[in-house]
Amino acid sequence: MNLWQLVLTELKAIVSDKAIAVTLFGGVLFYSVLYPLPYLHQVPTEQQLIVVDLDHSSLSRQLIRHADASAKIQVIGQVGSITEAKRFIETGKAHGLLVIPEGFRRDLLLGKGVTLSYGGDASYFLIYSAVAEGLVSAGMDAGKQVQLIGMLAQGKNPKEAEQNLNSLHLNSVPAFNPSLGYTPYVVPGLFLLILHQTLLIGTGILGAGQWRSRSYWQQVSPLQLVCGRILAFMLIYMVFTSFYVGYCYHWYKVSIQASFGLVALWLLPFLLATAAAGVAMSTLFTRRDLPTQVLLLISMPILFVSGFVWPIALIPEPLVLGSQIIPAVPAIMGMLELNQMGASWASVLPKWLQLWGLFVLFFGLAILGIKRRVRALAELNAS
Using the contact rule CB under 8 A, the part of the chain among 87-95, 217-225, 228-236, 266-274 near other proteins is 87-95
CB distance 94 to 85 below 8 Å: yes
Closest by CA position to 187, among listed 114, 248, 140, 233: 248
Q: 330 to each of 145, 279, 337, how far by Cα in Å?
A: 51, 20, 11
Give the CA radius of gyration of the chain.
29
CA–CA separation, 359 vs 364, rounded Å?
9
The answer to the question of residue 128 lying near other proteins (CB under 8 A) is yes
- Interface pick for other proteins out of 153, 168, 321, 382 (rule CB under 8 A): 168
Is the Cβ of residue 256 or residue 361 nearer to other proteins in the bound state? 256
- Interface pick for other proteins out of 136, 152, 239, 368 (rule CB under 8 A): 136
CA–CA separation, 308 vs 254, rounded Å?
15
Is the Cβ of residue 6 or residue 53 nearer to other proteins in the bound state? 53
Closest by CA position to 97, among listed 69, 127, 55: 127
- Interface pick for other proteins out of 206, 248, 331, 336 (rule CB under 8 A): 336
- Interface pick for other proteins out of 106, 158, 176, 349 (rule CB under 8 A): 176
- Interface pick for other proteins out of 133, 243, 253, 377 (rule CB under 8 A): 133
Interaction with other proteins in 311-330: which residues (CB under 8 A)? Answer: 311-316, 319
Q: 374 to each of 17, 121, 161, 185, 378, how far by Cα in Å?
A: 22, 60, 85, 45, 6
**55: buried, middle or exposed (CB in 10 Å: 19+, 13-18, 0-12)?**
buried
Is the Cβ of residue 120 or residue 269 nearer to other proteins in the bound state? 120
- Interface pick for other proteins out of 1, 8, 152, 180 (rule CB under 8 A): 180
Site string for other proteins, 272-291 (x = CB under 8 A): ------------xxxxxxx-
Is the Cβ of residue 128 or residue 217 nearer to other proteins in the bound state? 128
Is the Cβ of residue 267 or residue 348 nearer to other proteins in the bound state? 348
CB distance 329 to 323 below 8 Å: yes
Interaction with other proteins in 349-378: which residues (CB under 8 A)? Answer: none
- Interface pick for other proteins out of 5, 81, 163, 215 (rule CB under 8 A): 163
Interaction with other proteins in 230-259: which residues (CB under 8 A)? Answer: none
- Interface pick for other proteins out of 155, 169, 321, 379 (rule CB under 8 A): 169
CA–CA separation, 214 vs 381, rounded Å?
10
Interaction with other proteins in 19-78: which residues (CB under 8 A)? Answer: 19, 22-23, 26-27, 30-31, 34-35, 37-41, 44-45, 47
**287: buried, middle or exposed (CB in 10 Å: 19+, 13-18, 0-12)?**
exposed
